Amino acid sequence: MPELKTKLKEYRAKLDMKQGDLAEKVGVRRETIIRLEKGQYNPSLKLAMDIAKVFGVSVEDIFSFEDE
């Protein structure tokens, strides 16, 4: 089964943004961002697009699926 890979932490670091800051911008709890970064949560399409918009990149730049 493919595994979700994310570059969310790297993009946050580039903007010196905390998990809570990103959570507030996209309307979720900080815990959701933590789980996303650990690959424990698959975002909805809307959430993935909202996150990509914050960083000015495409969804594919941040999220991908890789075979284990």
**What's the pLDDT tens digit per position in 18-68?**
999 999 999 999 999 999 999 888 999 999 999 999 999 999 999 998 876
CB 58 within 8 A of CB 51: no
Identify the pLDDT of residue 39: 85
Identify the pLDDT of residue 2: 80
CB 17 within 8 A of CB 7: no
Identify the pLDDT of residue 60: 95
Instruction: Tell me the whole-structure pTM to 2 decimals.
Output: 0.90
Identify the pLDDT of residue 3: 83
Name the 3-class secondary structure at 52.
Answer: helix
Question: What residue has token string 């800051």?
Answer: 21
Identify the pLDDT of residue 29: 97
SS (H, E, C) 22-33: HHHHHCCCHHHH
Nearest Cα neighbor of 3 from 50, 53, 40, 58 is: 40
Walk me through the domains of the chain, giving residue ranges and CATH numbers. Answer: 3-66 (1.10.260.40)
